[in-house]
Structure 1
Amino acid sequence: MIWILLLVLLLGAVYGPGLWVQRVMRRYAEPGNRYPVTGGQLARELLDGCGLNRIRVERTERGDHYDPQAGAVRLSAEHYDRRSLAALTVAAHEVGHALQHTAGYGPFVWRQRLVRAVGRAQQLGAVLLLAAPVVAGVLRVPGVAALFLLGGVLSLGSGVVVHLVTLPTELDASFRRALPLLRRSGYLYPDVDPPHARRILSAAALTYVAQSLASLLNFWTWLRVLRPGP
């Protein structure tokens, strides 16, 4: 019974944040024509208002994000083209990251460096996991193979640590930058929208953490690949 409870708690910790984020975004995706501008139009308006005319606003299929290398705010089609509260709020959140970048906000700069380092660490982790059974078969030293396996698992899990450590950067983009922009835009209904926009901004801040937690389940895929056959 205790193992079932632990499994439920583990699944809740891994899936819970992601499910909450999805639920919030679905709830405020409708009505899709609530405001006079789309998410893409609002992002352009906010950037121009901050003097960031050089930063592009683009539609993407890779999820909402700000790309500092390309100098672009990228929004999914549902947020770029729609006029929902979710669309406008997510657009403002990504503009918040553009403001962080332009201002040289220290935690944002360090987050970018950590993300690049984690990308390399995760590639190394995949190599270590694949190499573990080969090492075990060739060297016949279980301890070395176990170290390879542990190193791979820790490397692949580094993304979760990075997003947890840099969560304040996401919260800053949401509440110190995006929320004031939304209020000044004049599009929100002041007596109704602010608490709902706060909920969406919280979900936007947790998006990367939720995705990283869910990616931990890839470990089970790797373990199935690495498990020796009968």
Structure 2
Amino acid sequence: MLWILLFIAILAIMLIPQWWTQRILKKYSEHRSDFPGTGGEFARHLIAKQDLDVKLETTSQGDHYDPNDRAVRLSEENYNGQSLTAVVVAAHEVGHAMQHQQRMALLLLRTPLAKFAFYIERIAQVALISTPLLLSFIPVVGRISMLLVIFGILGSFIVHLITLPVEFNASFSKALPEIKKGGYLSNKDYKAAQRILLACALTYVSGALASLLNVWRWLRFFRR
């Protein structure tokens, strides 16, 4: 019974931030005629203001900053959207470009580590499929396969763990101060912007917890 309650609690911790994030982003995505421009225009303004050597592009892969191509990429909705969500998300992604210009160590570490974790996860996926069969016929190899699965999941957890301070820094040490100094938003909108930036960061908390839960489950199975 205790394990069931613990599992439900962890599941809730994982799912509630995702639900809250989507709710907050949708809540403030309504068109604002009182805003002077779109998220893309605001991003372009901040890039010019900070004298950043980066490109600004639209993407279908979700809002992000690509340090390899030095590109701030916004979804079509946020690039062309004239809403609080569009403006704040744009500022957050430009915040990552500011981190890159300042050579933030964790941002520079995350990029190669994410690539390494990507390939390890692909190997782990193959191992995950083959592990039950290998345990039945070649137990020793099966246990090695299980370890590969654990390392793959652990790699994902480490990437999420490093990403957390990077995301919070981009939000609250880069984007939010720029928004406040420029006087771009009213006091009411500024408080809402804080909630949007917090919501974006919480998605990585969910990802880290999900990875950690998977590692724990496989370690318990490995000890049998």
TM-score, structure 2 normalization: 0.84
Q: Is the 8 A contact 2:106 2:162 kept in 1?
A: no
1:1-230 matches, within 5 Å, as 1-52=1-52, 54-136=53-135, 140-189=137-186, 191-211=187-207, 213=209
Taking the aligned partners of 2:70 and 2:151, their CA distance within structure 1 comes to 32
For residues 206 and 7 of structure 2, the distance between their equivalents in structure 1, rounded to whole angstroms, comes to 18
CA-based RMSD of the aligned residues comes to 2.4
Bigger Cα displacement from structure 2, 197-206 vs 85-94: 197-206
SS of 2:184's partner is coil
Partner of 2:74: helix, strand, or coil?
strand
Matches of 1:17 and 1:158, distance apart in 2: 22
Distance 1:159 1:3, change over 3 A: same
Q: Secondary structure at the match of 1:166?
A: helix
Which amino acid counterpart does residue 148 of structure 2 have in structure 1?
A: G
Q: Which segment is superposed worse, 92-101 or 156-165?
A: 156-165
1:228 matched to which residue of 2?
none
Classify the secondary structure of the residue corresponding to 1:192: helix
CA distance in 2, matches of 1:33, 1:207: 29
Equivalent residues of 1:56, 1:73 under 8 A apart: yes
Tell me if the contact between 1:24 and 1:200 (Cα under 8 Å) persists in the aligned partners: yes
After alignment, is 38-47 or 174-183 more displaced? 174-183
Q: 1:4 to 1:161 in 2, by over 3 A?
A: same
Counterpart of 2:46 in 1: which secondary structure?
helix
Q: CA deviation at 1:212?
A: 5.5
The one-letter amino acid of 2:108's match is: V
Per the alignment, do residues 161 and 215 of structure 1 end up closer, same or farther by CA in structure 2, a change over 3 Å counting? closer
- AA paired with 2:107? F
CA distance in 1, matches of 2:210, 2:3: 20
Q: Which 5+ residue runs of structure 1 have no aligned equivalent?
A: 220-230
Q: Is the 8 A contact 2:65 2:93 kept in 1?
A: yes
SS of 1:29's equivalent in the other structure is coil
The count of corresponding residues between Structure 1 and Structure 2 is 215
Amino acid at match of 1:51: D
1:126-181 deviation digits (Å, cap 9, x = unpaired): 122233245335xx233431341243144134313321233111111111110111
Deviations 1:53-93 (A, max 9, x none): x4111111111100111111111122111111111111000
The structure with the largest helix share of the pair is: 2
Shift of residue 204 of structure 1? 2.1
Q: CA deviation at 1:214?
A: 5.7
Q: How far is the alpha carbon of 1:95 from its aligned partner?
A: 0.2
Q: What amino acid maps onto 1:128 in structure 2?
A: A
Unpaired segments ≥5 residues, structure 2: 216-224
CA distance in 2, matches of 1:64, 1:112: 16
